[in-house]
Amino acid sequence: MNDLLKNVTAASLFKKLEAREVSAEELARAYLDRAETLKRLNAYVHLDADRILDQARAIDADRAAGKPLGPLAGVPVAIKDLLCVEKEPTTCGSRMLKDFRPPYDATVIKKLREAGAVLFGKTNMDEFAMGSSTETSFHGPTLNPWDETRIPGGSSGGSAAAVAADLAPVSLGSDTGGSIRQPAAVCGIVGLKPTYGRVSRFGLIAFASSLDQIGPFAHDLTDAALLLQAISGRDENDATSVDRPVPDYVASLDRKPDSLRIGVAREFFGEGLDPEVEAAVREAIRVYEKAGATIKDVSLPHTRYGIPAYYVVAPAECSSNLARYDGTIFGHRALDWSPKHPGEEELHPLVRMMMASRAEGFGAEVKRRIMLGTFALSAGYADQYYNQALKVRRLIRDDFDAAFKDVDVILGPTSPTPAFKLGERSKDLLAMYLSDVYTTTANLAGIPGLSVPCGLTKSGLPIGLQLLAPAFAEESLLRIARVFERETDWHLKRPELS
Protein backbone atom coordinates (compact mmCIF):
# COMPACT_ATOMS: atom_id res chain seq x y z
CA MET A 1 0.00 0.00 0.00
CA ASN A 2 1.20 3.48 -0.87
CA ASP A 3 2.39 5.07 2.41
CA LEU A 4 0.45 8.17 1.51
CA LEU A 5 -2.79 6.29 2.18
CA LYS A 6 -1.79 4.46 5.35
CA ASN A 7 -4.12 5.03 8.31
CA VAL A 8 -5.39 8.29 6.92
CA THR A 9 -8.66 10.11 7.50
CA ALA A 10 -10.23 12.95 5.54
CA ALA A 11 -9.17 15.39 8.27
CA SER A 12 -5.54 14.19 8.28
CA LEU A 13 -5.39 14.37 4.49
CA PHE A 14 -6.84 17.88 4.50
CA LYS A 15 -4.05 18.97 6.87
CA LYS A 16 -1.42 17.51 4.57
CA LEU A 17 -3.00 19.21 1.58
CA GLU A 18 -3.07 22.54 3.38
CA ALA A 19 0.56 22.12 4.41
CA ARG A 20 1.41 21.32 0.76
CA GLU A 21 2.89 17.98 1.81
CA VAL A 22 0.82 16.40 -0.90
CA SER A 23 -1.19 17.72 -3.82
CA ALA A 24 -4.78 16.80 -4.58
CA GLU A 25 -3.56 15.31 -7.85
CA GLU A 26 -0.99 13.05 -6.15
CA LEU A 27 -3.61 11.94 -3.70
CA ALA A 28 -6.15 11.20 -6.43
CA ARG A 29 -3.51 9.22 -8.34
CA ALA A 30 -2.67 7.18 -5.25
CA TYR A 31 -6.33 6.30 -4.74
CA LEU A 32 -6.79 5.51 -8.43
CA ASP A 33 -3.81 3.12 -8.27
CA ARG A 34 -5.21 1.43 -5.20
CA ALA A 35 -8.61 1.08 -6.85
CA GLU A 36 -6.87 -0.71 -9.71
CA THR A 37 -5.02 -3.06 -7.32
CA LEU A 38 -8.17 -3.89 -5.37
CA LYS A 39 -10.53 -4.15 -8.32
CA ARG A 40 -11.56 -7.62 -7.16
CA LEU A 41 -13.51 -6.11 -4.25
CA ASN A 42 -15.90 -4.55 -6.81
CA ALA A 43 -16.44 -1.49 -4.62
CA TYR A 44 -16.49 0.93 -7.56
CA VAL A 45 -18.78 0.56 -10.53
CA HIS A 46 -17.54 3.68 -12.27
CA LEU A 47 -14.27 5.61 -12.03
CA ASP A 48 -13.50 8.37 -14.50
CA ALA A 49 -9.77 8.92 -13.91
CA ASP A 50 -9.50 11.86 -16.32
CA ARG A 51 -12.39 13.74 -14.77
CA ILE A 52 -11.12 13.01 -11.24
CA LEU A 53 -7.60 14.22 -12.06
CA ASP A 54 -8.94 17.36 -13.77
CA GLN A 55 -10.92 18.22 -10.69
CA ALA A 56 -7.94 17.56 -8.41
CA ARG A 57 -5.66 19.73 -10.54
CA ALA A 58 -8.19 22.57 -10.49
CA ILE A 59 -8.20 22.48 -6.69
CA ASP A 60 -4.40 22.44 -6.61
CA ALA A 61 -4.40 25.50 -8.85
CA ASP A 62 -6.87 27.32 -6.59
CA ARG A 63 -4.79 26.46 -3.57
CA ALA A 64 -1.61 27.67 -5.25
CA ALA A 65 -3.38 30.90 -6.19
CA GLY A 66 -4.36 31.42 -2.55
CA LYS A 67 -8.10 31.30 -3.26
CA PRO A 68 -10.41 30.60 -0.30
CA LEU A 69 -11.03 26.84 -0.17
CA GLY A 70 -13.71 24.68 1.40
CA PRO A 71 -13.18 22.29 4.33
CA LEU A 72 -12.71 19.27 2.07
CA ALA A 73 -10.56 20.91 -0.61
CA GLY A 74 -8.71 18.14 -2.40
CA VAL A 75 -10.16 15.27 -0.36
CA PRO A 76 -11.62 12.41 -2.45
CA VAL A 77 -15.15 11.35 -1.53
CA ALA A 78 -16.68 8.15 -2.96
CA ILE A 79 -20.34 8.37 -3.99
CA LYS A 80 -23.08 5.74 -3.84
CA ASP A 81 -24.31 5.13 -7.35
CA LEU A 82 -27.82 6.48 -6.69
CA LEU A 83 -26.69 10.07 -6.23
CA CYS A 84 -26.90 12.07 -9.42
CA VAL A 85 -23.60 13.47 -10.61
CA GLU A 86 -23.96 15.59 -13.71
CA LYS A 87 -23.05 13.71 -16.89
CA GLU A 88 -21.67 10.68 -15.00
CA PRO A 89 -23.25 7.25 -15.11
CA THR A 90 -25.69 6.84 -12.21
CA THR A 91 -26.97 3.29 -12.47
CA CYS A 92 -28.54 2.60 -9.07
CA GLY A 93 -27.11 -0.90 -9.40
CA SER A 94 -29.72 -1.64 -12.05
CA ARG A 95 -29.83 -2.66 -15.67
CA MET A 96 -32.78 -0.27 -15.85
CA LEU A 97 -30.46 2.73 -15.48
CA LYS A 98 -27.29 1.32 -17.03
CA ASP A 99 -27.14 4.15 -19.58
CA PHE A 100 -28.47 6.95 -17.40
CA ARG A 101 -26.33 10.09 -17.15
CA PRO A 102 -28.17 12.73 -15.11
CA PRO A 103 -28.21 16.25 -16.52
CA TYR A 104 -27.77 17.75 -13.04
CA ASP A 105 -26.04 17.28 -9.67
CA ALA A 106 -27.83 16.10 -6.54
CA THR A 107 -27.81 18.82 -3.87
CA VAL A 108 -25.34 16.86 -1.72
CA ILE A 109 -23.02 16.64 -4.74
CA LYS A 110 -23.29 20.37 -5.32
CA LYS A 111 -22.47 20.91 -1.67
CA LEU A 112 -19.48 18.58 -1.85
CA ARG A 113 -18.17 20.51 -4.85
CA GLU A 114 -18.57 23.75 -2.87
CA ALA A 115 -16.61 22.17 -0.01
CA GLY A 116 -13.83 21.40 -2.49
CA ALA A 117 -14.17 17.61 -2.37
CA VAL A 118 -12.86 15.59 -5.30
CA LEU A 119 -15.83 13.51 -6.42
CA PHE A 120 -14.29 10.08 -6.61
CA GLY A 121 -15.76 6.80 -7.91
CA LYS A 122 -19.39 5.76 -7.91
CA THR A 123 -19.86 2.85 -5.54
CA ASN A 124 -21.71 -0.43 -5.89
CA MET A 125 -25.06 -1.01 -4.19
CA ASP A 126 -28.05 -3.30 -4.08
CA GLU A 127 -30.37 -2.62 -7.00
CA PHE A 128 -32.38 0.53 -6.21
CA ALA A 129 -31.03 0.23 -2.63
CA MET A 130 -33.15 -2.84 -1.93
CA GLY A 131 -31.11 -5.31 0.05
CA SER A 132 -28.70 -5.83 2.91
CA SER A 133 -25.77 -7.44 1.12
CA THR A 134 -25.02 -5.64 -2.18
CA GLU A 135 -25.70 -8.95 -3.90
CA THR A 136 -28.70 -7.73 -5.92
CA SER A 137 -26.53 -5.30 -7.90
CA PHE A 138 -26.54 -5.59 -11.68
CA HIS A 139 -22.75 -5.15 -11.41
CA GLY A 140 -22.27 -8.26 -9.24
CA PRO A 141 -21.57 -8.32 -5.50
CA THR A 142 -19.01 -6.29 -3.55
CA LEU A 143 -16.67 -8.26 -1.26
CA ASN A 144 -16.11 -7.45 2.40
CA PRO A 145 -12.49 -6.25 2.81
CA TRP A 146 -12.21 -8.07 6.16
CA ASP A 147 -13.13 -11.41 4.63
CA GLU A 148 -13.60 -11.60 0.91
CA THR A 149 -15.96 -14.56 1.14
CA ARG A 150 -18.46 -12.38 2.98
CA ILE A 151 -20.91 -9.60 2.18
CA PRO A 152 -20.05 -5.94 2.90
CA GLY A 153 -23.61 -5.27 4.03
CA GLY A 154 -26.08 -3.28 2.01
CA SER A 155 -27.47 -1.58 0.34
CA SER A 156 -24.53 0.88 0.46
CA GLY A 157 -21.99 -1.98 0.47
CA GLY A 158 -19.66 -0.37 -2.08
CA SER A 159 -19.42 2.87 -0.12
CA ALA A 160 -18.67 0.99 3.11
CA ALA A 161 -16.14 -1.37 1.52
CA ALA A 162 -14.41 1.57 -0.21
CA VAL A 163 -13.75 3.33 3.09
CA ALA A 164 -12.88 0.12 4.97
CA ALA A 165 -10.36 -0.85 2.28
CA ASP A 166 -8.87 2.66 2.05
CA LEU A 167 -10.12 3.13 -1.48
CA ALA A 168 -11.38 6.55 -0.35
CA PRO A 169 -11.08 8.28 3.03
CA VAL A 170 -14.84 8.90 3.26
CA SER A 171 -17.96 8.22 1.22
CA LEU A 172 -21.67 8.93 0.98
CA GLY A 173 -24.44 6.37 1.20
CA SER A 174 -28.19 6.36 1.74
CA ASP A 175 -30.25 4.71 4.47
CA THR A 176 -33.91 3.75 4.07
CA GLY A 177 -34.00 0.91 6.60
CA GLY A 178 -30.36 0.53 7.62
CA SER A 179 -28.34 0.85 4.45
CA ILE A 180 -25.69 3.11 5.98
CA ARG A 181 -25.54 1.73 9.51
CA GLN A 182 -25.55 -2.01 8.74
CA PRO A 183 -22.75 -1.92 6.11
CA ALA A 184 -20.75 0.41 8.39
CA ALA A 185 -21.13 -2.15 11.19
CA VAL A 186 -20.05 -5.18 9.19
CA CYS A 187 -17.17 -3.28 7.53
CA GLY A 188 -15.81 -1.87 10.82
CA ILE A 189 -16.33 1.84 10.14
CA VAL A 190 -18.56 4.73 11.21
CA GLY A 191 -21.88 5.28 9.42
CA LEU A 192 -24.43 7.97 10.18
CA LYS A 193 -28.06 8.21 9.12
CA PRO A 194 -29.20 11.78 9.78
CA THR A 195 -32.66 12.87 10.93
CA TYR A 196 -35.24 12.77 8.14
CA GLY A 197 -35.11 16.28 6.68
CA ARG A 198 -31.59 17.14 7.83
CA VAL A 199 -30.08 16.48 4.39
CA SER A 200 -31.70 17.28 1.04
CA ARG A 201 -32.78 14.27 -1.00
CA PHE A 202 -32.85 16.23 -4.26
CA GLY A 203 -30.99 14.16 -6.83
CA LEU A 204 -31.09 10.99 -4.75
CA ILE A 205 -32.84 8.34 -6.83
CA ALA A 206 -35.82 7.58 -4.64
CA PHE A 207 -36.55 4.19 -3.09
CA ALA A 208 -39.02 5.08 -0.29
CA SER A 209 -39.31 8.85 -0.06
CA SER A 210 -40.59 9.07 3.51
CA LEU A 211 -37.68 6.97 4.81
CA ASP A 212 -34.64 7.77 2.61
CA GLN A 213 -31.78 9.86 3.99
CA ILE A 214 -28.25 10.47 2.72
CA GLY A 215 -25.33 10.23 5.14
CA PRO A 216 -21.60 9.70 5.55
CA PHE A 217 -19.26 6.72 5.99
CA ALA A 218 -15.93 7.43 7.68
CA HIS A 219 -13.19 5.91 9.79
CA ASP A 220 -13.93 8.15 12.74
CA LEU A 221 -16.39 10.67 14.10
CA THR A 222 -14.35 13.71 13.11
CA ASP A 223 -14.69 12.74 9.47
CA ALA A 224 -18.35 11.81 9.86
CA ALA A 225 -19.03 15.23 11.43
CA LEU A 226 -17.05 16.94 8.66
CA LEU A 227 -19.11 15.30 5.96
CA LEU A 228 -22.45 15.74 7.73
CA GLN A 229 -21.65 19.41 8.11
CA ALA A 230 -20.91 19.72 4.42
CA ILE A 231 -24.15 18.12 3.22
CA SER A 232 -26.76 19.29 5.77
CA GLY A 233 -29.26 22.09 5.48
CA ARG A 234 -32.46 23.34 3.93
CA ASP A 235 -32.77 23.05 0.17
CA GLU A 236 -35.56 24.67 -1.78
CA ASN A 237 -35.52 21.71 -4.18
CA ASP A 238 -36.58 19.30 -1.41
CA ALA A 239 -39.71 20.41 0.45
CA THR A 240 -39.04 17.84 3.19
CA SER A 241 -35.64 19.31 4.04
CA VAL A 242 -35.99 21.30 7.23
CA ASP A 243 -35.10 24.93 7.73
CA ARG A 244 -33.05 24.67 10.91
CA PRO A 245 -29.58 26.03 11.48
CA VAL A 246 -26.80 23.50 10.92
CA PRO A 247 -24.71 23.31 14.10
CA ASP A 248 -20.93 23.23 13.90
CA TYR A 249 -20.69 19.47 14.38
CA VAL A 250 -16.90 19.46 14.02
CA ALA A 251 -16.18 22.24 16.50
CA SER A 252 -18.50 20.82 19.15
CA LEU A 253 -17.40 17.20 18.79
CA ASP A 254 -14.82 17.25 21.56
CA ARG A 255 -16.95 19.15 24.03
CA LYS A 256 -18.11 16.97 26.89
CA PRO A 257 -21.75 15.97 26.37
CA ASP A 258 -24.11 18.19 28.40
CA SER A 259 -25.78 15.07 29.68
CA LEU A 260 -24.81 11.42 29.37
CA ARG A 261 -27.84 9.25 30.01
CA ILE A 262 -27.80 6.08 27.98
CA GLY A 263 -30.85 3.95 27.40
CA VAL A 264 -30.53 0.23 26.86
CA ALA A 265 -33.64 -1.10 25.17
CA ARG A 266 -34.34 -4.69 26.14
CA GLU A 267 -35.99 -5.29 22.77
CA PHE A 268 -32.58 -4.87 21.12
CA PHE A 269 -31.21 -7.95 22.86
CA GLY A 270 -33.66 -10.56 21.69
CA GLU A 271 -33.71 -13.77 19.75
CA GLY A 272 -31.35 -13.97 16.78
CA LEU A 273 -28.66 -11.80 18.35
CA ASP A 274 -25.23 -13.33 17.85
CA PRO A 275 -23.52 -13.95 21.23
CA GLU A 276 -20.27 -12.29 20.16
CA VAL A 277 -22.17 -9.20 19.00
CA GLU A 278 -24.07 -9.12 22.28
CA ALA A 279 -20.86 -9.43 24.30
CA ALA A 280 -19.23 -6.53 22.43
CA VAL A 281 -22.27 -4.32 22.94
CA ARG A 282 -22.45 -5.19 26.64
CA GLU A 283 -18.78 -4.29 26.90
CA ALA A 284 -19.57 -0.93 25.29
CA ILE A 285 -22.12 -0.31 28.03
CA ARG A 286 -19.36 -0.90 30.59
CA VAL A 287 -17.11 1.56 28.75
CA TYR A 288 -19.82 4.20 29.04
CA GLU A 289 -20.42 3.38 32.70
CA LYS A 290 -16.74 3.88 33.43
CA ALA A 291 -16.85 7.17 31.57
CA GLY A 292 -19.51 8.36 34.01
CA ALA A 293 -22.68 7.67 32.03
CA THR A 294 -25.98 6.90 33.69
CA ILE A 295 -27.28 3.66 32.20
CA LYS A 296 -31.04 3.18 32.18
CA ASP A 297 -33.24 0.37 30.98
CA VAL A 298 -35.79 1.58 28.49
CA SER A 299 -38.45 -0.20 26.49
CA LEU A 300 -39.44 0.16 22.86
CA PRO A 301 -42.35 -2.29 22.91
CA HIS A 302 -43.25 -2.01 19.23
CA THR A 303 -39.76 -2.85 17.94
CA ARG A 304 -40.89 -6.29 16.79
CA TYR A 305 -43.38 -4.71 14.43
CA GLY A 306 -40.67 -2.63 12.78
CA ILE A 307 -39.78 -5.16 10.08
CA PRO A 308 -43.39 -5.97 9.10
CA ALA A 309 -44.32 -2.26 8.99
CA TYR A 310 -41.16 -1.38 7.06
CA TYR A 311 -41.75 -4.14 4.53
CA VAL A 312 -45.18 -2.67 3.78
CA VAL A 313 -44.33 1.05 3.79
CA ALA A 314 -41.05 0.80 1.85
CA PRO A 315 -42.40 -1.43 -0.97
CA ALA A 316 -45.59 0.69 -1.18
CA GLU A 317 -43.54 3.81 -1.76
CA CYS A 318 -41.15 2.03 -4.09
CA SER A 319 -43.99 0.73 -6.25
CA SER A 320 -45.01 4.32 -6.81
CA ASN A 321 -41.48 5.75 -7.19
CA LEU A 322 -40.42 3.09 -9.67
CA ALA A 323 -43.49 3.47 -11.86
CA ARG A 324 -41.57 6.07 -13.90
CA TYR A 325 -39.17 3.46 -15.29
CA ASP A 326 -41.21 2.24 -18.20
CA GLY A 327 -38.89 2.71 -21.15
CA THR A 328 -40.60 5.84 -22.44
CA ILE A 329 -38.73 8.68 -20.73
CA PHE A 330 -36.70 6.90 -18.06
CA GLY A 331 -34.82 3.68 -18.18
CA HIS A 332 -34.01 0.69 -20.29
CA ARG A 333 -36.19 0.12 -23.34
CA ALA A 334 -36.70 -3.41 -24.59
CA LEU A 335 -36.14 -3.99 -28.30
CA ASP A 336 -38.55 -6.86 -28.56
CA TRP A 337 -42.09 -6.36 -27.29
CA SER A 338 -43.86 -8.88 -29.40
CA PRO A 339 -46.62 -10.82 -27.59
CA LYS A 340 -45.11 -13.64 -25.50
CA HIS A 341 -48.17 -14.95 -23.65
CA PRO A 342 -51.72 -15.69 -24.73
CA GLY A 343 -53.85 -12.55 -24.76
CA GLU A 344 -50.94 -10.14 -25.08
CA GLU A 345 -51.57 -9.51 -28.76
CA GLU A 346 -54.67 -7.56 -27.70
CA LEU A 347 -52.60 -5.10 -25.66
CA HIS A 348 -51.56 -1.79 -27.15
CA PRO A 349 -47.94 -2.05 -28.40
CA LEU A 350 -46.95 0.79 -26.05
CA VAL A 351 -48.16 -1.24 -23.09
CA ARG A 352 -46.25 -4.27 -24.34
CA MET A 353 -43.15 -2.11 -24.73
CA MET A 354 -43.46 -0.97 -21.10
CA MET A 355 -44.06 -4.51 -19.87
CA ALA A 356 -41.07 -5.90 -21.74
CA SER A 357 -38.84 -3.01 -20.64
CA ARG A 358 -39.71 -3.47 -16.98
CA ALA A 359 -39.39 -7.24 -17.22
CA GLU A 360 -35.86 -6.91 -18.65
CA GLY A 361 -34.73 -3.86 -16.71
CA PHE A 362 -35.51 -4.86 -13.12
CA GLY A 363 -34.01 -7.71 -11.12
CA ALA A 364 -35.96 -10.19 -8.99
CA GLU A 365 -35.82 -8.33 -5.67
CA VAL A 366 -37.01 -5.07 -7.18
CA LYS A 367 -39.89 -6.84 -8.94
CA ARG A 368 -40.85 -8.55 -5.71
CA ARG A 369 -40.98 -5.22 -3.88
CA ILE A 370 -43.02 -3.55 -6.63
CA MET A 371 -45.55 -6.38 -6.52
CA LEU A 372 -45.71 -6.38 -2.72
CA GLY A 373 -46.17 -2.61 -2.64
CA THR A 374 -48.77 -2.53 -5.39
CA PHE A 375 -50.73 -5.20 -3.56
CA ALA A 376 -50.47 -3.43 -0.20
CA LEU A 377 -51.85 -0.24 -1.73
CA SER A 378 -54.55 -1.82 -3.84
CA ALA A 379 -58.24 -1.11 -3.31
CA GLY A 380 -59.68 -3.39 -0.67
CA TYR A 381 -56.26 -4.25 0.80
CA ALA A 382 -54.87 -0.82 1.67
CA ASP A 383 -56.76 -0.75 4.99
CA GLN A 384 -55.44 -4.15 5.97
CA TYR A 385 -51.83 -3.47 5.04
CA TYR A 386 -50.71 0.06 4.21
CA ASN A 387 -52.94 1.96 6.63
CA GLN A 388 -52.23 -0.58 9.32
CA ALA A 389 -48.49 -0.17 8.79
CA LEU A 390 -48.85 3.60 9.14
CA LYS A 391 -50.50 3.10 12.52
CA VAL A 392 -47.63 0.89 13.63
CA ARG A 393 -45.22 3.54 12.41
CA ARG A 394 -46.89 6.06 14.70
CA LEU A 395 -46.62 3.68 17.66
CA ILE A 396 -42.92 3.14 16.98
CA ARG A 397 -42.42 6.88 17.02
CA ASP A 398 -44.36 7.19 20.25
CA ASP A 399 -42.10 4.51 21.79
CA PHE A 400 -39.03 6.60 20.99
CA ASP A 401 -40.63 9.84 22.20
CA ALA A 402 -41.42 8.20 25.53
CA ALA A 403 -37.95 6.67 25.89
CA PHE A 404 -36.16 9.91 25.04
CA LYS A 405 -37.88 11.66 27.95
CA ASP A 406 -35.40 9.86 30.22
CA VAL A 407 -32.27 9.31 28.11
CA ASP A 408 -30.13 11.16 25.59
CA VAL A 409 -29.34 8.19 23.37
CA ILE A 410 -30.46 4.59 23.01
CA LEU A 411 -27.75 2.03 22.59
CA GLY A 412 -27.79 -1.44 21.05
CA PRO A 413 -26.29 -3.58 18.32
CA THR A 414 -26.48 -2.24 14.76
CA SER A 415 -26.75 -5.62 13.08
CA PRO A 416 -27.73 -8.84 14.86
CA THR A 417 -24.82 -10.73 13.28
CA PRO A 418 -21.42 -9.98 11.80
CA ALA A 419 -21.02 -10.15 8.01
CA PHE A 420 -22.56 -13.33 6.63
CA LYS A 421 -21.24 -15.39 3.72
CA LEU A 422 -21.93 -14.33 0.15
CA GLY A 423 -24.97 -16.25 -1.04
CA GLU A 424 -25.93 -17.39 2.45
CA ARG A 425 -29.18 -15.42 2.69
CA SER A 426 -30.03 -14.83 -0.97
CA LYS A 427 -32.45 -17.74 -0.95
CA ASP A 428 -33.76 -17.11 2.56
CA LEU A 429 -35.45 -13.73 2.28
CA LEU A 430 -36.73 -13.62 5.83
CA ALA A 431 -33.17 -14.08 7.11
CA MET A 432 -32.05 -11.31 4.75
CA TYR A 433 -34.82 -8.96 5.88
CA LEU A 434 -34.02 -9.69 9.53
CA SER A 435 -30.56 -8.17 9.00
CA ASP A 436 -32.38 -4.88 9.59
CA VAL A 437 -34.32 -5.65 12.79
CA TYR A 438 -32.46 -3.00 14.76
CA THR A 439 -32.21 -0.37 12.08
CA THR A 440 -35.60 0.07 10.35
CA THR A 441 -37.34 1.62 13.38
CA ALA A 442 -35.14 4.74 13.24
CA ASN A 443 -36.24 5.34 9.64
CA LEU A 444 -39.89 4.78 10.50
CA ALA A 445 -39.54 7.30 13.34
CA GLY A 446 -37.36 9.69 11.34
CA ILE A 447 -34.65 9.90 14.01
CA PRO A 448 -30.86 9.88 13.53
CA GLY A 449 -28.75 6.77 14.06
CA LEU A 450 -25.06 6.12 14.14
CA SER A 451 -23.00 2.94 13.96
CA VAL A 452 -19.50 2.93 15.42
CA PRO A 453 -17.02 0.04 15.51
CA CYS A 454 -17.10 -1.71 18.91
CA GLY A 455 -15.27 -4.98 18.46
CA LEU A 456 -14.06 -7.86 16.36
CA THR A 457 -15.27 -11.44 16.55
CA LYS A 458 -12.81 -14.26 17.26
CA SER A 459 -12.56 -14.82 13.54
CA GLY A 460 -11.79 -11.14 12.96
CA LEU A 461 -15.11 -9.76 11.74
CA PRO A 462 -16.15 -6.22 12.74
CA ILE A 463 -19.03 -5.52 15.12
CA GLY A 464 -21.01 -2.26 15.20
CA LEU A 465 -22.59 -0.38 18.08
CA GLN A 466 -25.73 1.57 17.25
CA LEU A 467 -26.63 4.82 18.99
CA LEU A 468 -30.01 6.44 18.32
CA ALA A 469 -31.00 9.98 19.29
CA PRO A 470 -34.05 12.26 19.12
CA ALA A 471 -34.74 14.10 15.87
CA PHE A 472 -32.15 16.80 15.07
CA ALA A 473 -29.94 15.79 18.00
CA GLU A 474 -27.00 14.86 15.74
CA GLU A 475 -24.71 17.18 17.64
CA SER A 476 -25.24 15.44 20.98
CA LEU A 477 -25.31 12.02 19.26
CA LEU A 478 -21.84 12.65 17.82
CA ARG A 479 -20.47 13.96 21.11
CA ILE A 480 -21.80 10.99 23.03
CA ALA A 481 -20.34 8.60 20.45
CA ARG A 482 -17.04 10.45 20.75
CA VAL A 483 -16.86 9.47 24.43
CA PHE A 484 -16.78 5.83 23.33
CA GLU A 485 -14.36 6.46 20.48
CA ARG A 486 -11.91 8.13 22.84
CA GLU A 487 -11.99 5.23 25.28
CA THR A 488 -11.45 2.53 22.66
CA ASP A 489 -9.34 1.88 19.59
CA TRP A 490 -11.74 -0.15 17.44
CA HIS A 491 -11.98 2.71 14.96
CA LEU A 492 -8.23 2.44 14.31
CA LYS A 493 -8.38 -1.18 13.12
CA ARG A 494 -8.09 -1.77 9.41
CA PRO A 495 -8.31 -4.99 7.42
CA GLU A 496 -5.15 -6.54 6.06
CA LEU A 497 -5.41 -6.61 2.30
CA SER A 498 -2.85 -8.02 -0.05
Of 23, 179, 232, 476, the catalytic one is 179
User: Residues 465, 284: contact at Cβ < 8 Å?
Assistant: yes
Shortest distance (Å) from residue 438 CB to ligand GLN: 12
Shortest distance (Å) from residue 241 CB to ligand GLN: 19
Contacts of 438 (CB under 8 A, 6+ apart): 178, 268, 412, 413, 414, 415, 416, 466
Contacts of 87 (CB under 8 A, 6+ apart): 101, 102, 103
The 3-state DSSP class for residue 406 equals coil
Concatenating the DSSP letter of every residue in 367-380 gives HHHHHHHHHHHSTT
Residue 33 or 375 having the CB closest to ligand GLN: 375
437, exposed or middle or buried, with CB in 10 Å at 0-12, 13-18, 19+?
Answer: buried
Residue 207 or 337 having the CB closest to ligand GLN: 207
For residue 400, report the phi and psi dihedrals to the nearest 5 degrees. Answer: -65, -45
Task: Give Cα separations from 308 to 156, 211, 322, 424, 434 (angstroms).
Answer: 22, 15, 21, 22, 10
Residue 25 or 135 having the CB closest to ligand GLN: 135
Triad 38, 39, 40: Cα angle to 5°:
90
Of 137, 155, 156, 319, the catalytic one is 155
Residue 156 or 232 having the CB closest to ligand GLN: 156
Residue 82 or 118 having the CB closest to ligand GLN: 82
Question: DSSP secondary-structure letter at 328?
Answer: S
Shortest distance (Å) from residue 179 CB to ligand GLN: 3
Shortest distance (Å) from residue 310 CB to ligand GLN: 7
Shortest distance (Å) from residue 477 CB to ligand GLN: 19
Comparing CA positions, the residue from 475, 413, 484 lying closest to residue 264 is 413
Residue 175 or 267 having the CB closest to ligand GLN: 175
Shortest distance (Å) from residue 434 CB to ligand GLN: 10
Taking the CA atoms of 264, 270, 273 and 279 in sequence, report the sign of the dihedral they define.
Answer: positive
Concatenating the DSSP letter of every residue in 411-469 gives EEESSSSSPPBTTTTTS-HHHHHGGGTTTHHHHHHT--EEEEEEEE-TTS-EEEEEEE-
> Residues interacting with ligand GLN, by CB under 6 A?
129-132, 155, 175-179, 207, 314, 436
Question: DSSP secondary-structure letter at 146?
Answer: T
Strand (E) positions, 219-317? 261-265, 294-298
Tell me the residue nearest to ligand GLN as measured from the CB.
179
Whether 179 is a known active-site residue: answer yes
Whether 155 is a known active-site residue: answer yes
Comparing CA positions, the residue from 41, 91, 141 lying closest to residue 426 is 141
Residue 179 or 414 having the CB closest to ligand GLN: 179
Of 23, 80, 132, 451, the catalytic one is 80
Shortest distance (Å) from residue 343 CB to ligand GLN: 34
User: Residues 42, 143: contact at Cβ < 8 Å?
Assistant: yes
Which residues does the annotation mark as catalytic? 80, 155, 179
